[in-house]
Structure 1
Amino acid sequence: MVARDGSTRDRSTRPEGTTARPSARRAGPRRPPEPAPAVPADGLVLGDPPVLARVTGVLLALAGLTGAAGLLPTYLVIGGTEVSQSAGTLGLLAGLVVPLTSAAVGGGLAAGRVPRFGLAFARIGGVLAVGLLLIELYRASTSTVRPGVEVIAGQRVLTSSVDVGSGWVLGVVALGLTVLAGVLAMAAWGRTVMEDAGALDPARPALAGAAVLLGVGAVLCLVLPAADLPDRIVTDPTTGLQVVVEQEGPQGLLERPGLALLGGLLLAGAVVLCSVLAPSLRPRLAAVGGLLAIAAVVLAAGLGGLRDAVVSDELEWTLPGVGLLLAGIGYVVLTVLAWRLRRTPAR
């Protein structure tokens, strides 16, 4: 009789009626793992832009096209002198900076691409356009109340009488559309979904500080004429003494009365305020759009001063004009830095 001991049990035998368990591994070819979805470098999240944002883009594009069309016909007839803003290549370039930028950004916003970039551009551009609109209304309406010397498109004119041209009308319509687009952009901002991983956050304080310095410098340069008449040296024929005679040059931004003074104050305050606001906009591309709007306006003003000095034989480019052009270039550099300063989030 064999003892039932665990050591003598045949473990290789199985009781009848039992089946072997199937292996967990399946025979056949293995499927390759599905690739992970691509994530943007800065973690950008985009939602469907609201209809109000697309309408803002349409208005912004129309403003750009209207402003560009207004450069060709007669701008104003001042004291019997016809003035056109497209005098020379440099004049055309200075006049096209803001319209072409607005048309390009507005077209992208109307198509629904990176909506907060376009909305930020429209917001900042609309605030800046308020002061410019008041200055344009002054030129065509109340500038004859206190006649003075003005330099428009490189021509030195006396505002004894002013007649409106179709170029001025198109320019005012463009500014009005820009202001309206800015109002709609503020209304559509909270309804637009667009966020990133905060790649620009560490650099925002430095960008804001640099933008404020540029804004203060631009305002100081805007106060004085970018192109002015040099002083004349007159020699007395009897005594031979030379006397310096000051010539009446163009009026500064804050030397004009009424609507022009109000527009100048609003423009100066808007440049500084928007320089503080633009680098803080989220996401990163919104800050780029805000800085781009300031850069376009300041650069156009700087190029306009250079155009006045180049076109006219009587005018000289002043130090404030040089500073204004450098401020515009500085804003362009800040815009490029805000666009390029980003890091890849850790996966």
Structure 2
Amino acid sequence: MVIGTVPALVPVCGALLVLAGVFGAAAVVPTYLVVGGEELRLARGVWSALVALLVPAVHVAVGATLLRRAVPKFGLAYAAVTGALAVGQLLIEIYRGSSSTSRPGVEVLAGERVLTSGVQIGAGWVLGVVALGLAVLAGGVGMAAWGRTVMEDRGALDPVRSLLAGTAVLLGVAAALCLALPAADVPDELRTDPATGLQTVVTREGPQALLERPGLALLGGLLLAGALLLCSVVAPSLRPRLGAVGGLLAVAVTVFGAGLGGLRDAVVSDDLDWTVPGMGLVLVGLALLGLTAAAWRARRSAT
């Protein structure tokens, strides 16, 4: 590995990424939203807190490597992909806190099934939006610094790069399809007519799917799905090898975190069940983490 010129933008990107992680972690504790007079928090126990802290912890860890100017293109690739994915998430969060009452509907927020007829923002929502905004800014700085940063290797990943890219694209498509449906949903209710004993299935209104939401949320959903597909294509092609590792790690953490979020909602709420798309997100996230590990371990045999 040869590391040459490292521009001043690299530690700036690292600082923004660390701040995004810190604000994201801080958003776990205070009130997230007040819906119908009920205060919602992102963490309602140790398990939900660990799930909510997963992505912020990775942000801080990767941002710290950029602050030390160590393997800079690893961190820059992570920041750029994270920033691209955070744009859609930011628009969805803005919709939840400011526009969801214009078209009230059943939604799952912080593991609670609520009707968004009245929503007031809390400190947790503000901190979360700031964290996403910092992630987007870090991504922009990371892309600006990428071409000015000199970091090369011996091409250890080149023999398997096409296989890696094909697998990543398939996993990206699977993740986008799973994201389109709720990771935790309301199960149908089975009712029995006492007079006839006939059982019927009654469909209960559940959370809105990603692309069923209006306005900013719909735009955010489309951007998130599109960015996920694009980043799955681009990440394996990044050079050097650690650049591909950083890009794949960002995709993997986002997908895995979304799947665990659905599991968290199903665990903490009696009204929700973990869905097949939610399980799919966890499996795809684990597969992407495995792909990231494979890229990390790739070495060219000594000749």
- Out of 137, 142, 158, the residue aligned to residue 99 of structure 2 is 142
**1:296 counterpart = 2:236:** no
Matches within 5 A, 1:1-347: 44-346=1-303
SS in 1 for 2:209: coil
Q: Distance in 2 between matches of 1:124 and 1:272?
A: 11
Q: Distance in 1 between matches of 2:229 and 2:208?
A: 22
- Kindly indicate whether the alpha-carbon contact (under 8 Å) linking 1:126 and 1:182 is maintained by their aligned counterparts in 2: yes
Give TM-score scaled by structure 1 length.
0.86
Structure 1 unmatched ranges of 5 or more: 1-43
- Kindly indicate whether the alpha-carbon contact (under 8 Å) linking 1:226 and 1:322 is maintained by their aligned counterparts in 2: yes
After TM superposition, give the deviation of residue 73 of structure 1 in Å.
Answer: 0.5
Identity of aligned residues (%): 66
- Kindly indicate whether the alpha-carbon contact (under 8 Å) linking 1:226 and 1:305 is maintained by their aligned counterparts in 2: yes
Aligned-residue RMSD, C-alpha: 0.9
After TM superposition, give the deviation of residue 253 of structure 1 in Å.
Answer: 0.5
Render the CA deviation track for 1:47-69: whole Å, top value 9, x for unaligned.
Answer: 14110111111111111111111
- Kindly indicate whether the alpha-carbon contact (under 8 Å) linking 2:28 and 2:43 is maintained by their aligned counterparts in 1: yes
- Kindly indicate whether the alpha-carbon contact (under 8 Å) linking 2:5 and 2:148 is maintained by their aligned counterparts in 1: no
Render the CA deviation track for 1:163-210: whole Å, top value 9, x for unaligned.
Answer: 010011111111111101111111111110000010000111111111
After TM superposition, give the deviation of residue 243 of structure 1 in Å.
Answer: 1.3
- Kindly indicate whether the alpha-carbon contact (under 8 Å) linking 2:156 and 2:299 is maintained by their aligned counterparts in 1: yes
Higher helix share: 2
The 4+ residue runs of structure 1 with deviation greater than 6 A are none
Give aligned pairs, total.
303
Q: Distance in 2 between matches of 1:68 and 1:341?
A: 33
Q: Distance in 2 between matches of 1:202 and 1:138?
A: 44
After TM superposition, give the deviation of residue 90 of structure 1 in Å.
Answer: 2.3
- Kindly indicate whether the alpha-carbon contact (under 8 Å) linking 1:298 and 1:328 is maintained by their aligned counterparts in 2: yes
Give TM-score scaled by structure 2 length.
0.98
